[in-house]
Amino acid sequence: YFKAIMNQDYNAYKETLDPYYLEVYNTWLDGSFGYGMETSFETMHQSLMDAACIDEEGNAITVEKMTITKLQLKETAIEDGVDQTEFINDYLAQYDSVIGEGFTDGLREQCDDVINVTFTMTADCDGTERVIMSDMEVLLAVHGDEYKLLG
């Protein structure tokens, strides 16, 4: 997912997404904004680069080249003793309210489960290793032994 974004490889990016999410979200973007997932994907690359161009003190810096060096994922099924089922349901309800009622039901019908993961990304930014994203959450649709992103 992140490698595809960094390399600006839209076809590789699509392979990482849940197919139902890709279809429904692409249709919604096109109908609501007149552009699809490919345009949305292009902004993700810029967002990653923007994250790399802020130092630890919050100051803007120039970064010519960024390479992802480490991605730490942690399933947040139970965090601090709290079951994440309600969080996942609330997150999916946001999709229902934005994309349209029935998204969650459609998604759950075509996958085995939906899980919440937290990730932290470290990258080499012009020779300096820096954490560029920390404790970010994303949902994954589980399809057997494959995990596909919603995002």
Question: Per-residue pLDDT tens for 123-143?
Answer: 999 998 999 899 998 999 999
Chain position carrying tokens 């161009």:
53
| CB within 8 Å of 75: residues ≥ 6 apart | 115, 116, 117
| pTM for this prediction | 0.85
Which of 33, 29, 37, 31 has its CA nearest to residue 13? 37
pLDDT at 75: 79
CB atoms within 10 A of CB 145: 6
Rounded to the nearest 5 degrees, what angle is found at the Cα of 43, between the Cα atoms of 140 and 47?
A: 80
Give the tens place of pLDDT for each residue, 38-56. 999 999 888 888 888 887 7
